Amino acid sequence: MAHLRDMEVAWDDLLEAFMNNSENIVYFLDRDTGEVFFVPFEYQDEEFWKEVESDPERFLQIPGYDYEQERLLLYEFIKGIEDEGLKQVLERAFSGKAPCGKIDEILSFYPDEAEQLMALRDELVADRVRRWLEEHDLYFQEEDIF
């Protein structure tokens, strides 16, 4: 848990919301309670949607996964790979050239590089969360996050 303007928010829940890559799910942060929750995009409860729309300062819609930032991250990650053979395979996978497979599948055979990519992704998402919170005048106490 992390404290956010005198309320507790589950940092992991925020990270999960920012990693949401489903177009069918919408995440919200309730500024009054600190709760992070989600609903299906086509949720059929008119009262719920009226409440959310009537108080946009309270119910902040959390942005979903950012594919553009992910591609930039992968591009920079691949540029930094020292193993030339692996680098070439990852470059082909990144550019979509068959039959290379998915980058995460390729890296499953390279645990050190896979761990490095996961750390970069975690850092990217954490930075997105922090910037988004600041845009909404919400600040974590850093010692609560780490």
- The model's pLDDT over 3-60, given as tens digits with 9 standing for 90+, comes to 455 567 888 899 999 999 888 999 999 988 889 999 998 898 999 999 999 998 899 9
Which residues, in sequence order, are CB contacts of 22 under 8 Å at separation 6+? 64
Show contacts of 120-125: CB within 8 Å, 24+ apart: 120/73, 120/76, 120/77, 121/70, 121/73, 122/15, 124/69, 124/70, 124/73, 125/15, 125/18, 125/19
Rounded to two decimals, what is the model's pTM? 0.76
Domain span at residue 105 reads: 67-123
- The model's pLDDT over 108-144, given as tens digits with 9 standing for 90+, comes to 999 999 999 999 999 999 999 999 988 988 876 655 4
Q: How far apart are CA 81 and CA 5, in angstroms?
A: 41
* Residues 85, 112 share a domain: yes
* Residues 61, 8 share a domain: yes
